[in-house]
Amino acid sequence: MSLRSPLSRVLGSGSAREGTEHWWMQRVTAIALLILGPWFLVSFAGLDNYDRVELVAWVGNPANTVMLLLASLTLAWHSMLGIQIIIEDYIHGPGLKVVSLILNKFAHVFLSAAAVLAILKVALGGSL
């Protein structure tokens, strides 16, 4: 039996105050993807034929390079936030949850770096 009141036991066990920021970042990246997604579809569909020369020229256009970089980084960030919520909601073992959250971040950083490297390599003519 404890001499502490129920309110006293609950205080200090509240939220980490990160939920609002996480929610806003998820919405901001979703809105950015609502702009970048249609740009990608329309721009990519506008190509005449999809051979290597035309695709390299398309990626080599500075505006397309920047937009592709923005799209891939925004998509990775949005995905990382979404998978983090799934892990937090459905994985209940504390050790497995921490490992899963760390692997989620590492995987998304690795995939983002690979996407940036690939886009820049094609855009700069393979000079990387």
The contacts of residue 125 (CB under 8 Å, 6+ apart) are 56, 60
pLDDT at site 16: 58
pTM: 0.81
pLDDT at site 13: 58
* Per-residue pLDDT band at 71 (split at 50, 70, 90): very high
Mean confidence (pLDDT) of the chain: 90
- 116 within 8 A of 74, measured Cβ to Cβ: no
Which two structure tokens, joined as six digits, stand for 107?
A: 């995987």
Q: Average pLDDT for residues 14-36, to the nearest whole number? A: 86
Domain ranges of the chain: 18-123
For the domain made up of 18-123, the CATH class stated in words is: mainly alpha
Q: How far is CA 82 from CA 13, 26, 87, in A?
A: 24, 7, 9
